[in-house]
Amino acid sequence: MNDSSTTLYLVRHGETQWNLEHRFQGQKDSPLSPRGIKQINTLGPYFEKNHIDALYSSDLGRAMATADIISQVTGLQVEALKALRERCFGIFEGLTHEPAREIKPQLFDQWRSGSMDVKVPGGESRQEMLDRVLPALYQIIDQHPGQKVAIVSHGGTLSALWRFLEPSRPESDGFSIPNASISTLSGQHKKLLVLKWSEINHLKGLKSLDDPSI
């Protein structure tokens, strides 16, 4: 990577009520929890110190609420992209794990295995999600050579991206992606390099950072 590389700050949205309840969110939405609001408020000081030139977000409400905090600090307008949405979980959306398992026990176990190709009725596979997310990232990189860009997205989206970028490393190394954590990548054309993953230093004043990645 050289001086024309784009720096990407990938931000997971703040904690939601459905995160607390261990529900599949997917492309349905849930309001940020009180802790989620505290989490996203730490992003303001972070991006005051770390200059960015552009701001993108998934168009889902929890991501847009998170991006709005960054927008207020930087003065940048948020560009919402449907392609950055969380993976669609179809008939599992809104359910906790046990009811989902009861509906489709074999399919639920296959989903838990981390397969790139498994999908539930009405949903999409991890691979299908990557097939829409990666072109969006590549386009952002091409539009902002040599610049720094913040992108607000989702836990499922980021964990699938980790598996794509670091195939030789255990998935568990990158699967824990706390709400409002920041992962830094360098990108050029269709090449992406992980610089930092799931940074949480800005969140250290908050308690109980672990959350369900569903």
Tell me: pLDDT of 211 over 60.
no
Q: Is 86 a catalytic residue?
A: yes
Fold of 6-203: Rossmann fold (3.40.50)
- pLDDT classification of 1: cutoffs 50, 70, 90: low
* Distant-in-sequence, close-in-space partners of 99: CB < 8 Å, separation ≥ 6: none
What is the model's pLDDT at position 174? 54
The active-site residue out of 15, 86, 93, 124 is 86
The active-site residue out of 13, 144, 154, 202 is 13
Tell me: pLDDT of 175 over 70.
no
What is the model's pLDDT at position 171? 60
What is the model's pLDDT at position 133? 97
What is the model's pLDDT at position 128? 96
Find how far residue 74's CA is from the centre of its chain.
20
Tell me: pLDDT of 69 over 50.
yes
- Region of poorest pLDDT, from 13-22, 26-35, 109-118, 190-199: 109-118
58 or 169: whose pLDDT is higher? Answer: 58
pTM: 0.92
Q: Which of 139, 132, 122 is nearest to 161 (CA)?
A: 132
* Distant-in-sequence, close-in-space partners of 158: CB < 8 Å, separation ≥ 6: 10, 12, 177, 183
Q: Is 98 a catalytic residue?
A: no
pLDDT tens-place string over residues 82-96: 999 999 999 999 999
pLDDT tens-place string over residues 116-157: 899 999 999 999 999 999 999 999 999 999 999 999 999 999
Domain parsing of the chain, residue ranges: 6-203
